Chains A and B, each alone.
Chain A
């Protein structure tokens, strides 16, 4: 029997089945003797599979490299086609074939799952008529509550806990295959079970009451973890079922359309930034006599007044600057009289369909006071620019506008975000205009309106786009303002207290405010393992295996479920980086605001600046460098404990070391955002494909597409070499709906596939037309997320860790001069580590 199997194995491997068994074995393990790898040309092929090992001069690390490369070739690298330049060595190929055959034998036994059918089955079960009976529902709730209490509070032995979490994980992986909202809710239930179990265990059995230091650290950490758990649960409640509201059509009779005032408040931004917004606002599709655009200039600049007059819009300036933007808007509210008010920040360019998409709901629901739309950014924010993520992964704001506000909409808890929104005048005047008591006047205004019983709505389609924050310091400044404002609202007008809100609205508003308190807990998590490594304080009074068995499921389920809910709008693990960057800076303002909400002033977010050189923002990153230093010291202390400390603590030390290394990498990611890259041009290029016609000077017209455009130029992809020279004058046609407009341009560069042009616009009207043909197109931002990778949690983790390592490396690059011996040695050891990694085999030439 064994012999039969052996012969089959060898035949599979291509050995001669009739040869004696030693030879068969040799043939199985190596190639055929005639093609042994140590002979002649085959040695080259073999060596090409291991390009980083020189077989004639083996080094110390080579056996490890050999093993890693073999594993990688076997398991990771996809099978090359026969025509590839290199071939997997035959021995390895045989093993691969064996493995794939084995898998093919086993796979049919696994139950097949057709996702569509499973989804339908799940929906049918959820919609079953039994659930219409109140008795059935309440019995089910009771049973669920009893099961929940049982699952969460029953103490398990370690083995039982292992079995339980494995079971939970297998169920979660199975649920993950089924698309649809029912499966999402089930995943949420599993995650809540795992996390609640973890919290119960923490609270009941991991605090060390005897040691005061342990107790103190433990309590702090427990408070932080309770906060995280609460935010997780509230987040699930908030975003589990996005409403996905669609725009409603306006009535056919134009006489029924209401009058709208468009406010564009500005303070100290350059005119160049405000012009596109004004041009696009003028071009919004709405009856001319019912649309009034107003430029609200708090800087009282002549340039702006003249521009407003030339463009034919209203100009409103007041004599003082009390209450900053809120005061500016309230002042305009007194002077104008449109039934509805659309507010755009001075750099948020609206599309032509903005009003027609948003006002339909106001006519349907008389109690609707606010319609909010997403803030879409066409320029990269500091994270995207400095980490090179632009257009590849969703940016930080997309979680809020893509998931959270949509989820808020289900509970009628959407709040005003200051721009890209329409408000009804009557409710706004009823609450006394835009709120001035806090620095986040927008959210507070929405809260006040909802307390009076008005509704709010959200349409999850980008109908306006603007500039993201320019530098990390500007970004942090903006977030500090939001954090402070939310903390102020929490103190002055707490959503959990007071009347007028239902419980779901309280939860949603409360969650929005709680979110900004994450600075303290994040800092605690970044320094918690140091308590053990330095002071031997057991913050979690439990053996390391128990900690792993409880923490890992909690984190894994949370990541899995969040990836499912948020996957298109936030890639896994990036939330950690974003929070880390902001943690230090939001702690103090929120604490101050919680204690004394009336202190603190409004700081305007700078827009339209230019980062002139590559530089490293030492000021911003100093706190994190200090924490990194502490963590590195902790790593050294931990290593010391491993070698010279008591043997039974090694597991705990290793666990804390892993945690510390993870923190270092997160901080590295945060620090790498501080490494500002140079911003080369003042006008941001937007990469979008639009149909265009290139009019050459000789009268020939070429049909082409835009590659990117900005308000100063564009690039066209042409199907053939145009022969245009630099500085030649051409024209480019772009469309605005069915109307075609031609713009004069000058050639900057031209090659076989692309022509880059600079606009030479003669009049203001042409500039307005250009904005309306490009930024203000109704479909301008709909295809923004094409070409993006889908979210895979492990890949997210990998990219965050890689960014972290790069960040640490960059600190050395900036800190130490390039030729010092210290940095050279660091660079060499970094290179040695990189040399260990497996790599793609080299080409061996034609075969």
Chain B
């Protein structure tokens, strides 16, 4: 079982979108995938067609004492996912966070009990650091993707995140540019800057800002179902291929 953690350099960078589409792209390549929403915002499920007012999820199950295994879904496109779930209040969220901090291996042990096929890839939508949920995921991640927008703030934050990741002995973080607009000179320049600074640690795939993505979300679909000939669909498919290659390389080390 391989773990891919998707983090964001800043809010609104598109972490949830990338996580949902990466899972859908891997599922489209006939891989066994599980998308896991570790973000209390609980938005991953909307890309995969879940009803808006359905409160179920693993967090909801933990908070209400139910069995979280019942909170797994399969989208119309064949992607298996586990939503976070709606929590009643902020206090519940804080309580859940403390539980996660006191049980740092909870996620790892729970996933080990699942009868998943051996080469399943689990894609995690992680909230911004610091977060106890992200800490659980990062502890077992095989690949960390840091999603960032091509602007100056993200550049600064991402640089810091990569430096920290290298120090802490975690698997090296890979940068992924999102919301790229080639017509903007600033975007092009930052891309060139990042490539020269990070080179191999940057994903060769750059995700464009494409209106198809927003429209697909409005229809509760991924762009693979909504607009297959779009540039976004092409790019997320390329991203899936690259992630697979990267996971294989990391495993070989």
Which A positions have Cβ atoms within 8 angstroms of B? 693, 695, 698-703, 718-720, 731, 733, 738-742
Q: Which residue of chain A has the shortest Cβ distance to B227 in the bound complex?
A: A700
| Cβ-defined contact, A703 with B182, below 8 A | no
A719 contacts B229, C-beta separation under 8 Å: yes
* Bound Cα distance A739, B195 (Å): 10
Given contacts A702-B229, A703-B230, contact A740 B204 (CB under 8 A): no
Contact assessment for B182 and A742 in the assembled complex, using a CB-CB cutoff below 8 Å? yes
A741–B211 contact, CB under 8 A? no
A718–B233 CA distance with the chains assembled, in angstroms? 15
Smallest CB separation, B213 vs chain A (Å): 10
Contact assessment for B211 and A700 in the assembled complex, using a CB-CB cutoff below 8 Å: yes
Cβ of B210 and Cβ of A741 under 8 Å apart? Answer: no
- Who on chain A is nearest to B210 by CB? A701
B188 nearest CB across to chain A (Å): 7
Residues of B178-218 at the interface with A, using a CB-CB cut-off of 8 Å, are 180-183, 188, 191-192, 195, 204, 206, 208-212, 215
- Taken together as a complex, chains A and B put the C-alpha atoms of A742 and B206 apart, in Å, by 14
The contact of B182 among A699, A733, A738, by CB within 8 Å, is A733
Given A701-B232, A703-B234, A742-B182, 20 more pairs with CB closer than 8 A: A693-B182, A693-B208, A693-B231, A699-B211, A700-B210, A700-B211, A700-B212, A700-B215, A701-B231, A702-B229, A702-B231, A703-B229, A718-B229, A719-B229, A720-B229, A733-B182, A739-B192, A740-B206, A741-B182, A742-B183
Return chain B residues, CB-CB under 8 Å to A719: 229
Choose from A703, A733, A738, A742 the contact partner of B204 (Cβ within 8 Å).
Answer: A738
Q: How far is the CB of A283 from chain B (nearest CB, A)?
A: 15
Nearest-neighbour CB distance to chain B for A97, whole angstroms, equals 47
**Could you jot down 27 A-B contacts, CB within 8 Å?**
A693-B182, A693-B231, A700-B211, A700-B212, A700-B215, A700-B227, A701-B211, A701-B230, A702-B229, A703-B229, A703-B230, A703-B231, A703-B234, A718-B229, A719-B229, A720-B229, A731-B183, A733-B182, A738-B195, A739-B191, A740-B182, A740-B188, A741-B182, A741-B188, A742-B181, A742-B182, A742-B183
Q: Are B211 and A698 in contact (CB under 8 A)?
A: yes
Specify which chain B residues have a CB less than 8 angstroms from the CB of A699 in the assembled complex: 209-211
- For B212-226 the 0/1 string (1 means CB < 8 A from A) is 100100000000000
- Within the complex, the shortest CB–CB distance from B183 to chain A, in Å, comes to 4
Give the size of the chain B interface in residues (CB under 8 angstroms): 23
Cα distance A738–B199 in the bound complex, in angstroms: 12
CB distance from A738 to the nearest CB of B (A): 7
**A699 closest partner in B (C-beta):** B211
Find chain A residues with CB under 8 A from B182 CB: 693, 731, 733, 740-742
Q: How many A-B residue pairs have CB under 8 A?
A: 49
Chain B residues near A733 (CB-CB < 8 A): 182
Interface string of B104-136 (1 = CB under 8 A from A): 000000000000000000000000000000000
Chain B residues within an 8 Å CB radius of A742? 181-183
A693-B234 Cα distance, complex, nearest whole Å: 10
Give chain A nearest CB distance to B206 CB in angstroms: 8
Instruction: Choose among B180, B182, B195, B229 the residue with the greatest number of A CB atoms under 10 Å from its CB.
Output: B182
Q: Is the CB of A700 within 8 A of B195?
A: no
What is the chain A residue whose CB lies nearest that of B180?
A: A740
Q: Which residues of A contact B209 (CB under 8 A)?
A: 699
In whole angstroms, how far apart are the Cα atoms of A720 and B188 in the complex?
29
Q: How far apart are the CA atoms of A695 and B210 in the complex, in Å?
A: 9
**Closest CB of chain A to B216's CB: distance in Å?**
11
Task: Give the top 4 A-B pairs by smallest Cβ distance, nearest first.
Answer: A699-B211, A701-B231, A719-B229, A742-B182
Q: B188–A739 contact, CB under 8 A? A: yes
A701 touching B212 in the complex, CB below 8 Å, given contacts A693-B231, A719-B229, A739-B192 = yes
- For window 150-192 of chain B, which residues contact chain A by CB distance below 8 Å? 180-183, 188, 191-192
State A360–B82 Cα separation when bound (angstroms).
Answer: 57
Q: How far is the CA of A68 from the CA of B70 in the complex (A)?
A: 79
Interface centre among A698, A699, A701 (most CB of B within 10 A): A701
Say whether B230 contacts A702, CB under 8 Å.
Answer: yes
Q: Which residues of A contact B215 (CB under 8 A)?
A: 700
Task: Tell me the smallest distance from the CB of A767 to a CB of chain B, in Å.
Answer: 16
- Chain A residues with CB under 8 Å of B181's CB are 742
CB-CB under 8 A from B234, the residues of chain A are: 703
A739 to B206, CA, bound (A): 11
Q: Which residues of B contact A700 (CB under 8 A)?
A: 210-212, 215, 227, 230
Q: Collect the chain B residues with CB atoms within 8 Å of residue A703's CB.
A: 229-231, 233-234
Shortest B230–chain A CB gap in Å is 6
Output the least CB separation between A690 and chain B (Å): 15
Residue numbers in A under 8 Å from B227 (CB-CB): 700
Which residues of chain B have C-beta atoms less than 8 A from A718's C-beta?
229
Query: In whole angstroms, how far apart are the Cα atoms of A359 and B74 in the complex?
Result: 59
**Chain B 224-253 interface 0/1 with A at a Cβ cutoff of 8 Å (1 = within):** 000101111110000000000000000000
